[in-house]
Amino acid sequence: MHCGKTTPPQLPLTPETWMYLADQKGPFSTSRVSSQKMASKILSIADLKESASSSLPEFAAEFFNSGATNQITMHDNSAAYGKYRLLPRVLRDVSRVETGIPLFGRDITFPLCVSPAGLQAMAHPEGDLATSRACAKMGVNMGVSSYANYPVEEITDAGNKVAPINHVMQLYTLNDKAKQERIVRRAEAAGCKAIFLTADSPVLGVRWNEWRNGFKAPVGLDYPMIEISSDEIQAASHDDGFAAVNSASHNWAAEIPWLRSITKMEIWIKGVLAPEDVETAIEYGCDGVIVSNHGGRQLDETPATIDALPACAKAARGRIRIHVDGGIRSGVDIFKALALGAECCWVGRPALWALAHDGQQGVELMLEILYDDFKRCMQLTGCRSISDITTASLAVVNASGPLARL
Ligand SMILES: Cc1cc2nc3c(=O)[nH]c(=O)nc-3n(C[C@H](O)[C@H](O)[C@H](O)COP(=O)(O)O)c2cc1C
Ligand SMILES: CCCCC(=O)C(=O)O
ipTM of the complex: 0.99
Contact present, 251 and 149 (Cβ < 8 Å): no
pLDDT, one tens digit per residue, over 195-226 is: 999 999 999 999 999 999 999 999 999 999 99
Identify whether 12 is part of a domain: no
Average pLDDT in the 360-388 region? 98
Average pLDDT in the 361-380 region? 98
Q: Which of 48, 65, 73, 115 has most ligand 1 atoms within 8 Å of CB, for mutation?
A: 115
- Residue 332 CA, ligand 2 centroid: distance in Å: 27
Q: Is the CB of 147 under 6 A from ligand 2?
A: yes
Identify whether 32 is part of a domain: no
Identify whether 13 is part of a domain: no
Which amino acid, residue 357? H
In eight-state DSSP terms, residue 149 is S
344 by DSSP, 3-state: which?
strand
- Residue 217 CA, ligand 1 centroid: distance in Å: 16
Say how far residue 241 (Cα) sits from the centre of its chain. Answer: 25
Q: Choose between 193 and 31: higher pLDDT.
A: 193
Identify whether 106 is part of a domain: yes
Q: Is the CB of 64 under 6 A from ligand 2?
A: no
Identify whether 14 is part of a domain: no
Mean pLDDT of the chain: 93
- Position 34 scores a pLDDT of 42
292 is known to lie in a ligand binding site: yes
Which amino acid, residue 271? G
What range does the domain containing 289 cover? 41-405
- Split into its structural domains, the chain has a count of 1
Question: Among 302, 344, 299, 349, which Cα is nearest to 322's?
Answer: 344
- Residue 147 CA, ligand 2 centroid: distance in Å: 7
- Residue 298 CA, ligand 2 centroid: distance in Å: 9
Identify whether 9 is part of a domain: no
- Return the residue whose CA atom lies nearest to atom 1 of ligand 2: 118
294 is known to lie in a ligand binding site: yes
Question: Rg (Cα) of the chain, in Å, rounded?
Answer: 23
Identify whether 177 is part of a domain: yes
In eight-state DSSP terms, residue 109 is S
Identify whether 271 is part of a domain: yes
* 294 included as an active-site residue: yes
Which CATH number covers residue 244? 3.20.20.70
Burial 316-337 (b: 16+ CB within 10 A, else e): beeebbbbbbbbbbbbbbbbbb
- Position 399 scores a pLDDT of 76
- Position 10 scores a pLDDT of 58
Phi then psi for 86, rounded to 5 degrees?
A: -95, 140
Give the confidence band of 172 by pLDDT, cuts at 50, 70, 90: very high
Contact present, 107 and 368 (Cβ < 8 Å): no
Report the alpha-carbon distance of residue 64 to residue 42 in Å, rounded: 19
Q: Which of 124, 167, 238, 294 is catalytic?
A: 294
The stretches of 24-57 forming alpha helices (DSSP H) are 36-40, 45-55
Would the pLDDT of 33 be above 50? no
Give the confidence band of 188 by pLDDT, cuts at 50, 70, 90: very high
Give the confidence band of 22 by pLDDT, cuts at 50, 70, 90: low
Least confident interval from 41-55, 129-143, 319-333, 387-401: 387-401
- Return the residue whose CA atom lies nearest to atom 7 of ligand 1: 117
371 is known to lie in a ligand binding site: no
Report the alpha-carbon distance of residue 184 to residue 174 in Å, rounded: 12
